[in-house]
Structures are given as structure tokens and as C-alpha cells.
Homo-oligomer: A and B are copies of this chain.
Amino acid sequence: MKIFSEELVGSVAREKHIANIEQATIGEVLLIAQTLEDRTGIPFIRMDQGSPGLPANMIGRQAEKDAIDRGVGQHYPAAAGVPELKTATEKFIKAFLNLDIPAECCLPTTGGVAASFGSLTIATQLDPGKNKVLFIDPGFPIQKSQLRVIGAEWESFDIHDFRGAALRDRLEQVLSKGDIAAIIYSNPNNPAWICLEEDELQIIGELASRYGVIVIEDLAYFCMDYRRALGHPWQPPYPPTVARYTDNYIIMLSASKIFSYAGQRVAMACVSPALFNRTYPTLAARYHDAGHFGTTFIASIMYMITSGVTHSTQFGLAAMYEASVEGKIDFVEDTREYQIRAQKMLDIFKRAGFTMPYDKDPVQGDIEGGFFFTLGYPGMSGGTLMKELLYYGVSAINLATTGSEQEGIRACTSRMRDELYPVLEERMMTFKADHPVC
């Protein structure tokens, strides 16, 4: 039996001006779930929004408070970022990615969202003939919304059927038209938690170089592929990155998930040194500067958007990077709780007859889930599944809203709590009984 009636859910949706529940955005889904919780007192299993479910890192918090005490609040932060953070980022990247990106190429931004906004802005201004962005979907809907603000176009395809060597032809098909300025994806992937592998990144990198395309690689869930022993400083294995295969990249490293630091809004945009030092006449003409990519990105674009990043927070992130490099923070172990939750939740869902639309990487094999995983149910569209689950007190988002062509939902583990597993179990067994698979 349903916990929340169709009538009740429908009336809350109407009240909140949500026209189509099946296509609801994250914000709309959480509004429905919160309202139902408030109105009935019955708790939801909240798998909708990806807000960290762990305390913000203590070393970062202490460093921020120390910086405030030292009086950094008075002074504008340097446009290029505080030197302590820039050098710590260089070290962090060397220790955990085995890449050489000099400090000057590493720019703090007001969260990964600002890194992405600035990267998409500059990438679509380099060549008047190239104003489109290619999304290797499924992806983060906000990045498409950013292009609406900027006024640029996009194309996308679902990676699901183009893993491994099949990626080359699919990419070539889009890039050969010559109007793509940038390729963007996240790895591990939000929402599907698949991980692009070395040979796939090699294809992306090679084609990016050939077609003069900037790759914007979102490493928001850095080293959170828990299947591998990542995240040990100075020791392989290192996570895969397109940076090994092209000079045309910007890597985005957010502090939100790996240090549970989403509230303070800080990330790093790390530009390939070759790209950083390239000169573009189009930039020079637009910004009346020398057209040097790195300088324009920092001084003529990012500085004009926020004039730097909260001063104390930069020292917080610097301290967390330093501590990670020294082995005093193990950010992979610190977030492994998400993997544990994913395994327990997947176990319940699978026993209730659910499937995983994104279930395999070509080499690494089975997807085990982490911060996210995907779910499908036989014979049900993603929209129907999302709506049906609301009746059983489980909120998630429809994969269709992430550019996926698979029928299913994204489940986020961040808000799961120990006492909710039996509740989820009971609700999903009822769901199974109510929705027999023929």
C-alpha cells in the first residue's frame, strides 16, 4: 500500500506549481518531499539532492577560523588566488594525479559551479566559428543552464552505448562538424557513477587536440571510485584523466564532496600549462588585453565575476590540500561511508527487483555506486518510476533530466541514515508486491 496517496502528492505538486512531476528538477523533487514530510510527519528516504552528508573537514574549518583571526577579511584576496592555496594545489595534483600543473595555472573559484561558468565562458569565446559545447551525458543539469546564461549552444549524447572504442566514432561524428568549442563531462560521473577509463580518455584527448576543442573535466568526485586504491599520495594507481592525452584541458577540483565543504563554495580550476600560455587574438580583441589565455581567464573573466574567492576559505582549502599531501587527511576513507551506503541500498533495491541502467565500466567492471547510483524497474519509464517511488516515500530524480536516454532514476546516498535501512527495506518490499514484474 502506498504511504502517500496519489491525490496528496498531486495536490502538493499543484500547490508548488510543478506542472510535470515526472520531469521535475532536483529543486522541485526536494520541495515535494520536504512538504510531504512537514505535512504528514512521515520521513522520506531522501535520495534527491547531492548535498554532503558528512561533517565539513575539521582541518579546513580550523584553518578558516585562524585566517579570520589573522584578519584576512579586511583585504581583497589576490585575483589569482592566495599563493599558499596555489602552491598547495600544485602539490596536491602532483601527489594524487601525478600531473605537473604549475601553481600559476591553478585558480581558486567560488565552487565548482563558478569554475564551470568561467571555463564555459572562455572556451566559447576563443573562436567565433565554435560556440557549441558537447556534453558527454548523463551530466550535471546546471552546466547546461549555465550555457543559457552565457548564450551558447550545446549538443549531447548518452555515453551508455558508446563505451570503450565505440566512443571514437560517436565523438568524431560530432567534432568533425567543426563547431564544438568544448567537451564537458564529470568523472566519476554524476549521475551514473560510471568512470571513464584510460582508453576512453585517450580518445577524448586525441580528438580534442585534433579538432582544437577544450576539454572541461569535472573531478568533483575526485578519487571516489572506491573500487580502486586511489587517494594515496605519491603512490599509483592514479585516477584517469584526460590531461595525460591532450594539452587542451581545464580540470575542475571541487572541495564540496571530497572534504564535505559544499557550504563554503570553493574549488580550483586547473588549466593545462600549454593552454594557459597560449595566445588568442579573439581574446585580445574582446578584452583589450594581450590575449594570453591564463591572464585573460584570471584577470579579464573570473575577476569580473566575483573579484576573487572568500579569503578565509582559500586558507581552509590550502590547509586541507597540504594535510592530504602529508597523509594527515585521507579524503577517500573519510567519504567511504557513501560506498557503504550505496552497497546497502543497492542490496535492498536489487532484492526488490530493481535494475541498474548504468551497471558496468568496460575494464573496471561492475559499478558499485558511491555518492550516486542509478536504478531502473522492469517495464517502467524513468518518469513513472520517480513518481511511483514518491508514493512510497522515496525521492530521487529522473535520469531523463540529466541527458540520459536510459529509463531510470538517480539515487543519491548522501542523506541516508542507519535507522532508515529497515524503513527502505519495508517500503521497497511493498513496492515490489504492488508492482509485480510479469
Query: Could you tell me the distance in whole angstroms from the C-beta of A34 to the nearest C-beta in chain B?
Result: 12
Contact assessment for A56 and B27 in the assembled complex, using a CB-CB cutoff below 8 Å:
no
Beyond A117-B304, A300-B148, A304-B149, whether A309 also contacts B265 by CB under 8 A is yes
Contact assessment for A145 and B304 in the assembled complex, using a CB-CB cutoff below 8 Å:
yes
Contact assessment for A265 and B111 in the assembled complex, using a CB-CB cutoff below 8 Å:
no
Query: Could you tell me the distance in whole angstroms from the C-beta of A273 to the nearest C-beta in chain B?
Result: 20
Query: Could you tell me the distance in whole angstroms from the C-beta of A115 to the nearest C-beta in chain B?
Result: 10
Q: Determine whether A329 belongs to the interface, using a CB cutoff of 8 Å to chain B.
A: no
Of the candidate stretches A67-75, A208-216, A357-365, the one touching chain B is A67-75
Q: Determine whether A64 belongs to the interface, using a CB cutoff of 8 Å to chain B.
A: yes
Q: Determine whether A406 belongs to the interface, using a CB cutoff of 8 Å to chain B.
A: no
Contact assessment for B263 and A305 in the assembled complex, using a CB-CB cutoff below 8 Å:
no
Q: Determine whether A279 belongs to the interface, using a CB cutoff of 8 Å to chain B.
A: no
Residues from chain B with a CB closer than 8 A to the CB of A76 are: 49, 51, 256, 262-263
- Given the complex of chains A and B, what is the CA–CA distance between A294 and B123 in angstroms? 29
Residues from chain B with a CB closer than 8 A to the CB of A110 are: 110, 114, 265, 306, 309-310
- Given the complex of chains A and B, what is the CA–CA distance between A313 and B264 in angstroms? 8
- Given the complex of chains A and B, what is the CA–CA distance between A149 and B117 in angstroms? 11
- Given the complex of chains A and B, what is the CA–CA distance between A234 and B260 in angstroms? 42
Q: Determine whether A77 belongs to the interface, using a CB cutoff of 8 Å to chain B.
A: yes
Across the interface, A60 reaches (CB within 8 A) one of B17, B73, B261, B303, namely: B73
Contact assessment for A51 and B75 in the assembled complex, using a CB-CB cutoff below 8 Å:
yes
Number of interface residues of A (CB under 8 A): 60
- Given the complex of chains A and B, what is the CA–CA distance between A260 and B151 in angstroms? 36
- Given the complex of chains A and B, what is the CA–CA distance between A166 and B145 in angstroms? 44
Within 8 A of B (CB), among A145-168: 145-146, 148-149, 151
Contact assessment for B304 and A142 in the assembled complex, using a CB-CB cutoff below 8 Å:
yes
Contact assessment for B145 and A300 in the assembled complex, using a CB-CB cutoff below 8 Å:
yes
Residues from chain B with a CB closer than 8 A to the CB of A311 are: 263-265
Within 8 A of B (CB), among A25-56: 27, 49, 51-52, 54-56
Contact assessment for A149 and B64 in the assembled complex, using a CB-CB cutoff below 8 Å:
no
Q: Return the chain B residue nearest A112 by Cβ.
A: B307
Contact assessment for B151 and A307 in the assembled complex, using a CB-CB cutoff below 8 Å:
no
Q: Return the chain B residue nearest A314 by Cβ.
A: B263
Contact assessment for A306 and B114 in the assembled complex, using a CB-CB cutoff below 8 Å:
yes
- Given the complex of chains A and B, what is the CA–CA distance between A191 and B132 in angstroms? 40
Which of A49, A312, A313 gathers most chain B CB within 10 Å?
Answer: A312
Contact assessment for B52 and A264 in the assembled complex, using a CB-CB cutoff below 8 Å:
no
Residues from chain B with a CB closer than 8 A to the CB of A145 are: 287, 300, 304
- Given the complex of chains A and B, what is the CA–CA distance between A311 and B72 in angstroms? 17
Beyond A51-B76, A56-B73, whether A264 also contacts B149 by CB under 8 A is no
Q: Mark A221-253, 1 if CB is under 8 A from B, else 0.
A: 000000000000000000000000000000000
Copies in the complex: 2
Query: Could you tell me the distance in whole angstroms from the C-beta of A166 to the nearest C-beta in chain B?
Result: 32
Contact assessment for A149 and B27 in the assembled complex, using a CB-CB cutoff below 8 Å:
no
Within 8 A of B (CB), among A375-433: none
Q: Mark A67-90, 1 if CB is under 8 A from B, else 0.
A: 011011111110100000000000
Residues from chain B with a CB closer than 8 A to the CB of A73 are: 56, 60-61, 64, 260-264
Contact assessment for B263 and A148 in the assembled complex, using a CB-CB cutoff below 8 Å:
no
Q: Return the chain B residue nearest A52 by Cβ.
A: B74
Query: Could you tell me the distance in whole angstroms from the C-beta of A368 to the nearest C-beta in chain B?
Result: 24
Q: Determine whether A121 belongs to the interface, using a CB cutoff of 8 Å to chain B.
A: yes
Cβ contacts A to B, 30 pairs, < 8 Å: A17-B290, A51-B74, A51-B75, A52-B74, A56-B71, A61-B69, A61-B73, A64-B68, A73-B261, A73-B263, A74-B260, A110-B114, A111-B308, A114-B307, A117-B304, A145-B300, A145-B304, A148-B287, A148-B300, A149-B300, A149-B301, A263-B312, A264-B311, A264-B312, A265-B308, A265-B309, A265-B311, A306-B306, A310-B313, A312-B312
Beyond contacts A114-B305, A148-B288: 14 other A-B pairs, Cβ-Cβ < 8 A, are: A51-B74, A51-B75, A52-B74, A52-B75, A56-B71, A61-B69, A73-B262, A75-B262, A76-B256, A77-B265, A110-B110, A110-B310, A265-B307, A310-B310
